[in-house]
């Protein structure tokens, strides 16, 4: 089963909330690329994880440190298992086989998508699951987890738990799996957003009509100045090569390119398989030491 990665189309951080989280506004796209995960019930009620670590070499150790080879108590799958079992003791234990491809510190939701896969597995085992309760538990695990429980592309707001399904024209893209590490906490701190006492999350639930129309039509070039990732200036200042990657994606034929999440991966979007293959060849020639992945959405 695919545990899909996501990318952000734009990421605005208007303010910091009284609960310590930041208010966000972004479009999340679900990709057809990610981790492979197989989950089976075991009667012992225990948790077993078997990993095949295929993350790019520069970041592979970060996953090993929280896998069965390291401190499993820090693994998001184990945390999810523990939280679900605390509320539903009658559920069985699990044995999970995970082929890990999504790198950490990448802005791709690698941990959150795995957690959502485990939630989804347990959904099918008990009719007692209440969807509102599950989404609440999922949000406690991570802000991006509720999105991965949805099957659609979404406009995401609040701290990540407010979702609105949106129509996005199908397309293709190239993802650069970069070795740089950007700390999420440091990136948010670097924004220095003011605290807002009463965050009006609902004001961020709608898109401008022209942006919504461009998403439906797949007119990415029209969105270059309208969908902005607030983390790009910080990321590009710390790692200028990330900014160069974005410039090269656009120069080599991508209609739209951006940092995803708080980093550090960069992607380029196109319309058409032939254009994507041409873009991939150019990027591989220009950046021979990087790993690139083709995806659809």
Could you say which of 144, 159, 230, 246 is catalytic? 144
What is d(CA 5, CA 17) in angstroms, rounded to the nearest whole number?
A: 27
CB 47 within 8 A of CB 98: no
**Paired sense of beta strands 25-42 and 93-100, if any:** antiparallel
Residue 201's contacts (CB-CB under 8 Å, 6 or more residues apart) are 23, 157, 158, 162
| The two three-digit tokens of residue 69, written as one number | 């080879």
Write phi, then psi, for 129 (nearest 5 degrees): -65, 125
According to DSSP, the residues that pair with 3 across neighbouring strands are 35
DSSP state of 194: P
Contact at 8 Å (CB) between 49 and 86? Answer: no
Rounded Cα distance, 231 and 13, in Å: 9
- Best CA proximity match to 217, nearest among 256, 169, 172, 257: 169
Q: Which parts are annotated binding residues for ATP?
A: 103-113
Exposed/middle/buried for residue 261 (C-beta within 10 Å: 0-12, 13-18, 19+)? buried
Rounded CA separation 242/236 (Å): 6
DSSP 23: -
Annotation marks residue 144 as catalytic: yes
- By the 10 Å C-beta count (0-12 exposed, 13-18 middle, 19+ buried), 201 is classed as middle
Question: Of 6, 59, 79, 159, which residue is the catalytic one?
Answer: 6
Residues marked as binding?
103-113
6 is catalytic: yes
| Catalytically annotated residues | 6, 144
């Amino acid at each position: 089963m695919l545990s899909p990665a996501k990318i952000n189309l734009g990421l605005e951080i208007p303010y910091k909330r009284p609960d310590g989280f930041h208010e966000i506004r972004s479009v999340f796209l679900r990709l057809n690329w990610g981790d492979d995960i197989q989950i089976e019930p075991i009667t012992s009620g225990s948790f077993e994880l078997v990993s095949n670590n295929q993350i790019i070499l520069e970041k592979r150790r970060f996953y090993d440190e929280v896998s069965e080879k390291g401190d499993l108590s820090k693994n998001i799958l184990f945390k999810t298992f523990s939280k679900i079992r605390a509320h539903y003791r009658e559920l069985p234990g699990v044995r999970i086989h995970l082929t890990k491809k999504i790198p950490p510190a990448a802005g791709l939701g690698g941990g959150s998508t795995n957690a959502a896969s485990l939630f989804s597995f347990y959904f099918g085992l008990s009719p007692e699951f209440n969807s509102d309760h599950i989404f609440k538990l999922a949000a406690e695990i991570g802000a991006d987890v509720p999105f991965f429980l949805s099957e659609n592309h979404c406009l995401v707001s609040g701290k990540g738990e407010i979702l609105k399904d949106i129509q996005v024209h199908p397309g293709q893209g190239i993802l650069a799996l970069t070795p740089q590490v950007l700390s999420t906490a440091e990136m948010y701190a670097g924004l220095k957003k003011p605290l807002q006492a009463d965050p009006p999350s609902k004001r961020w639930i709608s898109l401008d009509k022209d942006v919504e129309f461009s998403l439906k039509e797949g007119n990415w070039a029209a969105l270059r100045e309208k969908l902005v990732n607030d983390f790009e200036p910080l990321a590009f200042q710390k790692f200028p090569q990330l900014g160069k990657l974005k410039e090269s994606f656009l120069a080599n034929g991508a209609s739209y390119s951006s940092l995803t999440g708080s980093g550090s991966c960069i992607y380029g979007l196109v319309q058409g398989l032939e254009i994507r293959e041409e873009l991939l060849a150019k990027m591989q020639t220009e950046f021979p030491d990087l790993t690139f992945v083709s995806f659809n959405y």
